[in-house]
Amino acid sequence: MSPLLFFIAGFPVAFALDRAILALSTPAPADDSADGPRPLAALEERALPWQVGPWPGRIRLAVVALAPGLMAIAGWRFDLAQALVVSSLLAALLVCTGTDLIQFRVPNVITYPGTALVLLAALVLPDGDVASGLLAAALFGGLALVASVLTRGGLGLGDVKLAVLIGAGLGLSAAYQALVLGVLVGGVTILALFLLGVVSRKQAVPYAPFLALAAVAVVLARGAAFAPL
């Protein structure tokens, strides 16, 4: 019964995620703070093909449409308490996917509470491994920060915070697999976009979706630091 209940619950969750992605990726006035959505003029200067016209709405729809199915799998794979936290983590990762695809943004309002939630869950849920979550958050967040410095912002600070969230949620072994998978798939996809002429060398390409969706796949296949399988 849990998979069906989680599947049904996924529809209002999908609607809420759509509203969240819309709010967090709406271009802001040019004088807004750096923590908010990026100004419209700055976005238009380096817009990617899927960031203009009707495409942002289609991206939101495609991303949030994953929620019911993913939540149903969570309800099938985990017990009730674990499945609720897993579903929350999946929702956070979907929001980060949508906002980064649409406006190069991984919002702090998602990554900070998400990291706190999964660490708390690892501390209080049976079989949770908070030590693995903390170690993975520090290790992979640190590696992502080094990569951000070496690439001069090619990997943004939002991606660094996402790496912290993934590490905290998945733990050492699973987070390693998710980050390797995300980097490999992301590298191949971005190279293909360059070769096909979809994007130019001067254009940045969102990287958070690759990391986030790889983490989604690994969580549902292998479990998390707070919900081992």
One-character DSSP codes across 19-76: HHHHHHHSPBPTTS-TTSPPBHHHHHHT--GGGSTTHHHHHHHHHHTHHHHHHHHHHH
Q: How confident is the model at residue 197 (pLDDT cuts 50, 70, 90)?
A: confident
Helix (H, G, I), strand (E, B) or coil at 91: helix
CA–CA distance from 67 to each of 23, 62, 64 (Å)?
Answer: 18, 10, 5
Highest mean pLDDT: which range of 50-54, 78-82, 186-190, 193-197 = 78-82
Mean pLDDT, rounded, for 160-167: 97
pLDDT of amino acid 28: 58
State the average pLDDT for the chain.
90
- Asked whether the beta carbons of 70 and 216 are under 8 A apart, the reply is yes
Mean pLDDT, rounded, for 108-124: 97
- Asked whether the beta carbons of 90 and 68 are under 8 A apart, the reply is no
CA–CA distance from 112 to each of 31, 49, 106 (Å)?
Answer: 24, 30, 11
pLDDT of amino acid 33: 40
- Asked whether the beta carbons of 78 and 67 are under 8 A apart, the reply is no
Does residue 228 have a pLDDT over 80?
Answer: yes
Which of 44 and 14 is assigned the larger pLDDT? 14
Question: Do you know the residue count of the chain?
Answer: 229
What's the CA gap between 44 and 11, in Å, rounded?
Answer: 32
Task: Encode pLDDT of 29-71 as tens digits.
Answer: 544 444 455 554 445 556 788 888 899 999 999 999 999 999 9
CA–CA distance from 106 to each of 19, 35, 98, 109 (Å)?
Answer: 16, 10, 9, 9
pLDDT of amino acid 47: 79
Q: What percent of the chain lies above the pLDDT cut of 90?
A: 76
Q: What percent of the chain lies above the pLDDT cut of 70?
A: 91
The predicted model scores a pTM of 0.91
Asked whether the CA dihedral 217, 222, 226, 227 is positive or negative, the reply is positive
CA angle 57, 63, 67 (to 5 degrees): 130
pLDDT of amino acid 178: 96
